[in-house]
Amino acid sequence: MIKQGDKLPAGTLFEYIEVEGNGCSLGPNAFDIAQATAGKTVAIFGVPGAFTPTCSARHAPGYIEQAEAFKAAGVDEIWCVSVNDAFVMGAWARELKADGKVRFMADGSAEFAKATGLTLDLGAKGLGLRSIRYSLLAKDGVVTALNLEEGGAFKVSDAETLLAQAKAQQAA
């Protein structure tokens, strides 16, 4: 399982791009994780699924609402990562009005979740392999803060907790 001080695993995440530009075509685009985090501070929060109750009502909205505060704390980008396809993640981002605030990154085959060791088997509920709920800060691809939820809880991966950690790291 990934831990503080580890480098994010190599791999690819996908994002649905609404408007063609900056080298990105309309529709799903692949992003190399190492390249996308190089030289940046990225706040990443993982959720079990798009459009699910806690994820839609509390987890993602907190990061969208705090996007400017994260930028003020030195965070270059915020990513929401889920084991869903890029089309679903794009639709979810549109519904939550996340454009320009949070990037909704698809881990459709759970490759990132598996590589980090942050998986959750929800096969008995018909949902297959998913990601646990978590949040982390990565500076230049290295994890500097990590908050893992246990048993479906939503206590430590919220925007306020990760924002406090980002502010503390910025002040240090």
- Catalytic residue numbers? 55
Which value, in Å, is the radius of gyration of the alpha carbons in the chain? 15
E strand or H helix that includes residue 86:
helix 86-96
Q: Are 77 and 170 in contact (CB under 8 A)?
A: no
Write b or e for each residue in 57-76: b if 16 or more Cβ atoms lie within 10 A of its Cβ, otherwise e. Answer: eebbbbbbebbeebeebebe
